[in-house]
């Protein structure tokens, strides 16, 4: 296969395959699994942290465009993803009954992970306002895209830095992102099926929600191919986006979903596993 074809297949397996697998598991089990999801998320977040800090950012610095430019790109990645998430949260939180001033500022339940609870709320209302349900679906899709596009960018940027060779970092990222997408897929399919949708249709929709990963990969690879500056910006932006996802969402969500010390230990083991993968 050619360069682009290999990238498309890899990211499709990570995005569509991982999310679809999660949707299938959710369809088969249809039960709360917050503890398992918590440990899975925290471990994946730890490994992602190692790969971002020990591989992607160092590769961005190695382009010799200046550490300041790399740091600026990372900051932009953090800021944009935070801002988009903040807008979605602010507009949707008041519409979900259990969300009040005492509720945590981040998700503490599987359904909240990607605003699936917001979609289910409008389904349960059984009102004639189909537009509200449509908007809730768009919000859920946007929440998934905000996670999957930067995830795909990390694969694409890493792929570009390897000059079109699917190196170890890109493969590790693809596997981890696929793993991370499993609980997200569960969070999509379970409320859809609970709302009365047929299992096959729910799993299909869930799998298709992973397509933004492919879009992100193409964007990351395209920026990386422009030249040293483009590669540094792509790696930096993707790293910043992933750093926010790990510290701003994955780890807080993991701890709130399973209130114990185990998610912290799982994240630490993930960091060590990432170091072993990169330098072992």
Per-residue pLDDT reduced to its tens digit, 113-140 = 667 677 777 766 665 566 676 777 777 7
pLDDT at residue 54 above 80?
A: yes
Per-residue pLDDT reduced to its tens digit, 87-122 = 877 777 666 666 666 767 676 666 676 676 777 777
Task: Report d(CA 191, CA 196) in Å as an integer.
Answer: 9
User: Which of these ranges, 19-28, 103-112, 213-222, has the smallest mean pLDDT?
Assistant: 103-112
* More confident site: 109 or 245: 245
For residues 12-23, average pLDDT: 88
CA 214 to chain centroid: 12
pLDDT at residue 71 above 90?
A: yes
Q: What pLDDT, on the 0 to 100 scale, is given for residue 67? A: 94
pLDDT at residue 145 above 70?
A: yes
Per-residue pLDDT reduced to its tens digit, 147-203 = 788 878 888 887 777 665 555 666 777 777 787 777 777 767 776 776 677 888 888
Reported confidence tier of residue 75, pLDDT bands at 50, 70, 90: very high
Q: What pLDDT, on the 0 to 100 scale, is given for residue 264? A: 93
Q: What pLDDT, on the 0 to 100 scale, is given for residue 164? A: 57
Q: What pLDDT, on the 0 to 100 scale, is given for residue 99? A: 61
Q: What pLDDT, on the 0 to 100 scale, is given for residue 97? A: 65
């Amino acid at each position: 296969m050619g360069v682009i074809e290999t990238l498309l297949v890899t990211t499709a397996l990570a995005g569509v395959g991982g999310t679809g697998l999660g949707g299938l598991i959710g369809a088969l089990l249809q039960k709360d699994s917050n503890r398992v999801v918590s440990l899975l998320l925290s471990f994946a977040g730890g490994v992602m942290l190692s790969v971002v800090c020990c591989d992607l950012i160092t590769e961005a610095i190695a382009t010799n465009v200046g550490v300041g430019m790399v740091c600026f790109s990372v900051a932009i990645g953090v800021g944009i993803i935070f801002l988009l998430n903040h807008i979605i949260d602010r507009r949707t939180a008041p519409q979900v009954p259990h969300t009040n001033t005492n509720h945590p500022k981040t998700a503490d339940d599987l359904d909240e992970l990607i605003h699936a609870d917001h979609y289910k709320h409008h389904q349960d209302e059984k009102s004639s306002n189909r537009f509200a349900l449509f908007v809730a679906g768009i919000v859920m899709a946007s929440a998934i895209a905000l996670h999957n596009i930067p995830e795909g960018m990390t694969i694409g940027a890493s792929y570009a830095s390897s000059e079109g060779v699917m190196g170890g970092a890109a493969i590790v990222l693809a596997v981890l992102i696929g793993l991370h997408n499993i609980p997200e897929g569960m969070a999509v399919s379970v409320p859809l099926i609970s709302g009365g949708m047929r299992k096959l249709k729910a799993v299909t929709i869930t799998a298709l929600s992973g397509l933004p990963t492919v879009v992100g990969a193409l964007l990351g690879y395209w920026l990386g191919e422009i030249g040293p500056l483009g590669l540094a910006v792509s790696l930096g932006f993707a790293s910043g986006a992933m750093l926010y996802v790990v510290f701003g969402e994955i780890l807080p969500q993991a701890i709130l979903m399973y209130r114990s010390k185990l998610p912290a230990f799982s994240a630490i083991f993930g960091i060590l596993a990432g170091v072993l993968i990169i330098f072992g």
